[in-house]
Homo-oligomer: A and B are copies of this chain.
Amino acid sequence: MNIQQLERQVIVPNNDFIHKAEKLKPVLHETIVKPSHIVSVKADKNYIHGWRVDSISSASNLINNEYKKDDSFILDFGDHQVGYLSLNIRPAGSPPDAPLKLKLTFGEMPVEVAEPFENYNGWLSSSWLQEETIFVDVLPTSIQLPRRYSFRYVKFDIVDTSPKYRVVFEKVECHAVTSAILQNVQDINHHDLVMQKIDEVSIKTLADCMQEVFEDGPKRDRRLWLGDLRLQALANYETFRNNDLVKRCLYLFAGVPDNKGRVPANVFISPKLIADDTYLYDYSLLFAVTLYDYYLETRDTDTLKELWPTAFRQIELALDRLDENNIVQDSSDWWSFIDWNDNLNKQTPSQGVLIYTMKRAILLAEELNVKEVEILKIRLKEIIEATKKYLWDEEQQFFISGLERQISWASQIWMVLAEILPLEENKLLLNRLLSEKPSIGISSPYMYHYLIEALILTNKEEVAIQEMKNYWGEMIKDGADTFWELFDPNNKDFSPYGSHLINSYCHAWSCTPTYLIRKYNL
Query: Which residues of chain A have a CB within 8 Å of any CB of chain B?
Result: 1, 3, 5-6, 69, 93-101, 123-128, 132-133, 135, 137-141, 147, 159-164, 221, 223, 268, 270-271, 274-277
Q: Is the interface of A mostly helix, strand, loop or mixed?
A: loop
- In the bound complex, CA of A95 to CA of B224 (Å): 14
Of B1, B141, B162, the contact of A127 (CB 8 Å cutoff): B162
Give the residue among A1, A127, A141, A221 with the most B Cβ atoms within 10 A. A127
Q: Are B98 and A138 in contact (CB under 8 A)?
A: no
Least distance between A220 CB and chain B CB atoms (Å): 8
Of B139, B160, B270, the contact of A126 (CB 8 Å cutoff): B160
- In the bound complex, CA of A447 to CA of B274 (Å): 63
Give the residue among A125, A140, A160 with the most B Cβ atoms within 10 A. A125
Of B1, B6, B128, the contact of A98 (CB 8 Å cutoff): B128
Q: Are B147 and A276 in contact (CB under 8 A)?
A: no
Q: Are B3 and A164 in contact (CB under 8 A)?
A: yes
Of B94, B98, B128, B161, the contact of A277 (CB 8 Å cutoff): B94
Q: Are B93 and A5 in contact (CB under 8 A)?
A: yes
- In the bound complex, CA of A127 to CA of B97 (Å): 10
**6 smallest A-B Cβ distances: which pairs?**
A98-B125, A101-B127, A99-B127, A125-B162, A138-B270, A127-B160
A126-B277 in contact given A138-B270, A140-B271 (Cβ < 8 Å): no
Q: What residues on B are CB-neighbors of A1 within 8 Å?
A: 163
Q: What residues on B are CB-neighbors of A124 within 8 Å?
A: 98, 162
- In the bound complex, CA of A6 to CA of B97 (Å): 14
Least distance between A317 CB and chain B CB atoms (Å): 21
Of B94, B123, B125, B133, the contact of A161 (CB 8 Å cutoff): B125
Q: Which residue of B lies closest to A129 (CB)?
A: B101
- In the bound complex, CA of A3 to CA of B141 (Å): 25
Q: Are A97 and B161 in contact (CB under 8 A)?
A: no
Least distance between A222 CB and chain B CB atoms (Å): 8
A95-B268 in contact given A127-B101, A127-B161 (Cβ < 8 Å): yes
Least distance between A148 CB and chain B CB atoms (Å): 8
- In the bound complex, CA of A127 to CA of B138 (Å): 12
- In the bound complex, CA of A116 to CA of B513 (Å): 50
- In the bound complex, CA of A274 to CA of B139 (Å): 12
Least distance between A83 CB and chain B CB atoms (Å): 14
Q: Are B135 and A132 in contact (CB under 8 A)?
A: yes
Q: Are A97 and B147 in contact (CB under 8 A)?
A: no
Least distance between A409 CB and chain B CB atoms (Å): 29
Q: What residues on B are CB-neighbors of A93 within 8 Å?
A: 5
Q: What residues on B are CB-neighbors of A69 within 8 Å?
A: 125
Q: What residues on B are CB-neighbors of A141 within 8 Å?
A: 271
Q: What residues on B are CB-neighbors of A126 within 8 Å?
A: 101, 159-160
